[in-house]
Every structure is written in structure tokens, then in C-alpha cells.
Amino acid sequence: MSLVDGIAIGASIGMLFGVIYGSVVFIGPIALGLLGLAAGGGVGYLLDRVIQRQRLRRKSAPSGEIIVVARCRNVAEAELAENIMRKAQAGALGRGVDLAKLK
């Protein structure tokens, strides 16, 4: 939603209430409708800015995902590392290829 949409929605609601309740107040529906238009536009602008700032804060937060590479000397050590990472609730585990065996 763009900034103009928030202002337009707020101004429309403010103007509607101004015209409705302007017939009761001595100012009149037209004058109170114009005041409601200005006040509603201001409120709509402020609400839109608050929403945009909250969205920016959420996007700039770190995702919290990291990659850990553990180099193990033997299978027992690899299994121990896997068990430790499982206890720490790792999202994904995998074993790579032993580079010494490829040579």
C-alpha cells in the first residue's frame, strides 16, 4: 500500500464522519466535512508512516541462519559432532566427501 492510499483512506473516513456529525453541530456539515478531510488525511499519513517503519524494522532483522562446517578425523568423531548438533536442534545435517580418499 502506498503513502497516498493511506492518506486517501483516512481523509475519506474523516470526511464521512465530519459530514454525518456536522448536521448536529452548529458549524455545519460542509465545514466539519472539510475539517474531517484534513484531520483524517493527517491521521492516515501518520498511520501509514508507522506501518512502513515497522515493516522496515522487520526486514532489517538478521535471519539467524548460520552454516557450521566441522572437520572430523574419523567416523566416531563425525557421529559425535552430529549428535551434538542434533541436540542443539540444527536445521539440516549432512556429511561431505572425504577428500583424502579422492586423491
- pLDDT tens-digit series, residues 8-53: 999 999 999 999 999 888 889 999 999 999 999 999 999 999 998 8
Question: Nine-digit cell at 14?
Answer: 474523516
Q: Is residue 96 part of a domain?
A: no
Q: Is residue 69 part of a domain?
A: no
- Residue 2: what pLDDT? 75
Q: Is residue 84 part of a domain?
A: no
| DSSP SS3 for 6 | helix
Q: Is residue 41 part of a domain?
A: yes
Q: Is residue 17 part of a domain?
A: yes
- Residue 49: what pLDDT? 92
| DSSP SS3 for 10 | helix
- Residue 100: what pLDDT? 64
Q: Is residue 40 part of a domain?
A: yes
Q: Is residue 89 part of a domain?
A: no
Calpha distance 89→68 (Å, rounded): 13
Structural domain that includes position 22? 3-60
Whether the CB-CB separation of 34 and 19 falls below 8 Å is answered with: no
Give the total number of structural domains in the chain: 1
Calpha distance 88→47 (Å, rounded): 41
- Residue 101: what pLDDT? 67
